[in-house]
């Protein structure tokens, strides 16, 4: 009886189990069928694989909406597999899919190996995708990492392998894959990197190209040759392991020198502002991927102003043309908005077609005396004043490398001088003495805070750094950023090139947000602005005068390999560099106050006009419009009147000696008018040119010239009026007289000089030479 019940119970359980098992199988089969249907649903037709084209061109605009560049694939050239050398085919197979000729589109062994590596690494380190899968993904699918996309990719790969031969698949892949620098396909890449056809590639060149698709921006030999060579070695070693080449051939190829054609980013040569657009390109590709940048229909609004850009290109072109007999082959210019750090103009060299190396953003050059403002900034911030004196006298310092004895450019020493005069005249010894007093590391700290990243407390901690003797040099863009700190009241603005990016449907992907940081006290920055204004009005930078309040500094290396002028107004800060890529010395006498200062002035005059137009439009809440032909002097005059009206209630205007910065004595050869903040005006009398009980008398020269509006804020003028007899000196009675000078020639003005300034000079020191250009 019990046995019958047991058998009956066992049969029931077996029936129940079989029923449940059948249900589970049916559900699993249904699920698999559903997944399969969903995966196969709307799969693209692989017959279209040979007709694939980029979707939509991305466009780059200036801040006013004017087109700068079309980012697209302009020179993709399809080549048959027979024109692709075997070493190129073997290289790409070795590093991307070593079992390419053994699988049918999906490599199960490769997927297993990638799974193990990812599990060990705690993240996705290998993808396990075959060349066929990559081809399917790049042409038909998105780059999102999802299980569904991976399964669809595998299905498409299997279909492609049934439709096309291995040679056809490899041909399609090598003509489609991205190699960096805007180069899609092996033929374009070969031209971009080596200036030759793909069929002429050797083993070393092929191995380097094969290493690029994994990370084109990082492994590009134009970005980092050491990293590119390291990746090349990985490819060669893998080829040797697989038997494509011998170990000896791999070693020989690794030692072969790679000769690059010179950076030629595809699609940029014929566009406006090509150096600026190429400056944007690598960050855009790193962030959005090459496919999105070149094919995604992005709309990129930049900070560049096309009018300023054209003025910059013209200034550089004319400056190099005028200096063609001075052994100068290259120049760079970059201009930033003082308040925002937005890049307004960028010229990276003589010609983008000849050389696409961006000297404005990439070149590291010795700054010479353009480094001195950092020393004086540290001095002023420590509590020193422009009127403090320092001895310009012989001095020597012992160091591990010997004795260092700084010398001045003119070979002379000038005795006791003020900090203001030492900076204006760019005298070397006082800058070195100040650095020794303040501490080298302290000065370098100010340099880093203000935006120079190339200095090193390890390699540059020597007194020669005060004169710009740096291990790695400085970048023009960073020099403009650092000087902009002074112009912006001690606030550093991160350089910005992009204002807004939208996709093809108008969705905003990113938008400009200012990145600023206060790194100096306002008072320190304002004092430096005033001190550096004297560089242009009476110092080494007089060639940079633009008829508008401006400050700056010249820079020249002792061997004439580099010359600089970096200067700013309240709206723009601009750095100009000239020299040679091969470090060949320029002609003797090419200093910062000549070619660079003139190029700076040639750019800043129209750029300031444009900046005032933009500011006026912004006050009216309008979008910036293309520049109009207006009178610059009228604009500048109106701007200064507004400034004077604004500062009227909290400032005081006095006449002071330009060298000492104190109230003038009868011995002062010149006086200038300066505006001081409340409580900051000097009360002592000049201690450089002696004191006297009574000030000198002044007279006014009969007008012989036309005075345009828009005179500089710092205008040489007369001493406070009184008509008492001056104190007697050995040269006789001193009488002050207003004298007008031509801005172009620096000589006394005639009635035909278009621009003049007025100085108050002792009568016994008035020059007698009149302008011979406008006579």
Name the token pair of 37.
């249907």
Task: Please provide residue 651's backbone torsions phi and psi, each rounded to the nearest 5 degrees.
Answer: -145, 165
Name the token pair of 406.
């700084």
Mapping DSSP to helix (H, G, I), strand (E, B) and coil, where does residue 313 land?
Answer: helix
User: Cα separation of 427 and 405, whole Å?
Assistant: 14
DSSP for 189-234?
HHHHHHSS-GGG--HHHHHHHHTSTTSHHHH-TTT-HHHHHHHHHH
284 contacts 293 by C-beta, under 8 angstroms? yes
User: Cα separation of 420 and 406, whole Å?
Assistant: 20
Quickly count: other Cβ atoms within 10 Å of residue 11's Cβ.
10
User: Cα separation of 327 and 590, whole Å?
Assistant: 9
Mapping DSSP to helix (H, G, I), strand (E, B) and coil, where does residue 390 land?
Answer: strand
696 contacts 762 by C-beta, under 8 angstroms? yes
Q: What is the largest CA-CA distance in the chain?
A: 149
Q: Which long-range contacts (CB under 8 A, 24 or more apart) does 768-771 make?
A: 771/742, 771/744, 771/745, 771/747
Task: Please provide residue 668's backbone torsions phi and psi, each rounded to the nearest 5 degrees.
Answer: -70, 125
Catalytic residues: 96, 369
Q: What is the 3-state secondary structure (H, E, C) of 507-549?
A: CEEEECCCCEEECCCHHHHHHHHHHHHHHHHCCCCHHHCCCCC
Relative to beta strand 735-742, strand 697-700 is: parallel
User: Cα separation of 758 and 744, whole Å?
Assistant: 13
Per DSSP, what are the bridge partners of residue 573?
Answer: 336, 568
User: Cα separation of 36 and 345, whole Å?
Assistant: 56
């Amino acid at each position: 009886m019990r046995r019958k019940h047991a058998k009956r119970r066992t049969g029931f359980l077996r029936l129940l189990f079989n029923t449940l098992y059948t249900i589970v199988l049916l559900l699993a089969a249904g699920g698999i069928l559903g997944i399969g249907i969903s995966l196969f649903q709307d799969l693209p037709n692989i017959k279209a694989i040979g007709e694939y084209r980029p979707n939509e061109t991305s466009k780059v605009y200036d801040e006013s909406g004017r087109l700068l560049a079309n980012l697209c694939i302009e020179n993709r050239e399809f080549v048959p597999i027979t024109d692709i050398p075997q070493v190129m085919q073997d290289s790409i197979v070795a590093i991307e899919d070593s079992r390419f000729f053994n699988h049918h589109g999906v490599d199960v062994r490769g997927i297993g190996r990638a799974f193990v590596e990812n599990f060990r690494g705690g993240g996705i380190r290998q993808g396990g995708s075959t060349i066929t899968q990559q081809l399917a993904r790049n042409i038909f699918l998105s780059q999102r990492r999802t299980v569904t996309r991976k399964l669809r990719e595998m299905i498409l790969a299997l279909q492609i392998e049934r439709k096309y031969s291995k040679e056809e698949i490899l041909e399609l892949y090598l003509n489609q894959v991205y190699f960096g620098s805007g180069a899609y396909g092996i033929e374009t890449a070969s031209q971009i990197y080596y200036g030759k056809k793909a069929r002429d590639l050797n083993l070393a060149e092929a191995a380097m190209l094969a290493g690029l698709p994994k990370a084109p921006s990082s492994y590009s030999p134009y970005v980092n040759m050491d990293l590119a060579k390291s990746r090349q070695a990985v490819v060669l070693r893998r080829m040797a392991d697989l038997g494509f080449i011998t170990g000896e051939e791999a070693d020989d190829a690794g030692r072969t020198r790679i000769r690059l054609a010179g950076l030629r980013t595809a699609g940029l040569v014929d566009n406006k502002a090509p150096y600026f657009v190429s400056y944007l390109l690598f960050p855009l590709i790193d962030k959005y991927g090459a496919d999105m940048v070149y094919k995604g229909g992005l709309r990129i609004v930049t900070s560049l102003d096309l009018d300023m850009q054209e003025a910059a290109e013209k200034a550089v072109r004319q400056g190099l043309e005028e200096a063609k007999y001075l052994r100068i082959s290259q120049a760079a210019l970059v201009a930033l908005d003082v308040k925002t750090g937005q890049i307004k103009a960028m010229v990276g060299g003589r010609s983008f077609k000849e050389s696409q190396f961006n000297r404005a953003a990439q070149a590291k050059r010795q700054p010479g005396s353009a480094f001195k403002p950092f020393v004086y900034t540290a001095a002023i911030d420590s509590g020193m004043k422009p009127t403090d004196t320092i001895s310009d006298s012989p001095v020597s310092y012992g160091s591990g490398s010997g004795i260092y004895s700084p010398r001045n450019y003119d070979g002379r020493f000038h005795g006791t001088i003020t900090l203001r005069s030492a900076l204006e005249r760019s005298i070397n010894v006082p800058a070195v003495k100040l650095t020794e007093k303040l501490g080298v590391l302290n000065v370098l700290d100010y340099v880093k805070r203000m935006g120079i990243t190339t200095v090193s407390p390890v390699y540059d901690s020597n007194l020669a750094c005060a004169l710009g003797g740096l291990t790695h040099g400085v970048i023009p863009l960073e020099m403009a950023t650092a000087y902009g700190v002074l112009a912006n009241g001690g606030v550093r603005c991160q350089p910005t090139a992009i204002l807004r990016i939208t996709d093809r449907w108008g969705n905003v992907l990113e938008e400009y947000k200012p990145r600023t940081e206060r790194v100096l006290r306002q008072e320190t920055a304002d004092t430096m602005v005033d001190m550096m204004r004297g560089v242009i009005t009476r110092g080494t930078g007089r060639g940079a005068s633009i008829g508008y309040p401006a400050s700056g500094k010249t820079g020249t290396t002792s061997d004439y390999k580099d010359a600089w002028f970096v200067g700013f107004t309240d709206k723009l800060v601009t750095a100009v560099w000239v020299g040679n890529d091969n470090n060949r010395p320029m002609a003797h006498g090419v200093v910062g106050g000549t070619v660079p200062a003139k190029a700076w002035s040639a750019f800043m005059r129209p750029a300031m006009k444009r900046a005032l137009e933009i500011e006026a439009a912004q006050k009216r809440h309008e979008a910036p419009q293309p520049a109009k032909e207006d009178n610059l002097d009228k604009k500048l005059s109106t701007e200064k009147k507004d400034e004077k009206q604004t500062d009227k209630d909290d400032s005081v205007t006095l006449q002071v000696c330009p060298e000492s910065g104190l109230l003038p004595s009868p011995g002062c050869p010149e006086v200038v008018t300066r505006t001081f903040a409340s409580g900051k005006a000097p009360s002592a009398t000049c201690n450089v040119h002696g004191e006297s009980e009574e000030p000198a008398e002044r007279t006014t020269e009969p007008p012989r010239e036309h005075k345009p509006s828009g005179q500089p804020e710092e205008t040489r003028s007369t001493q406070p009026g009184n008509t008492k007899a001056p104190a007697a000196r050995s040269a006789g009675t001193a009488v002050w007289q207003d004298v007008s000078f031509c801005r172009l020639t620096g000589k006394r003005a005639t009635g035909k000089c278009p621009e003049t300034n007025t100085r108050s000079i002792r009568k016994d020191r008035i020059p007698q030479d009149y302008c011979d250009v406008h006579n």
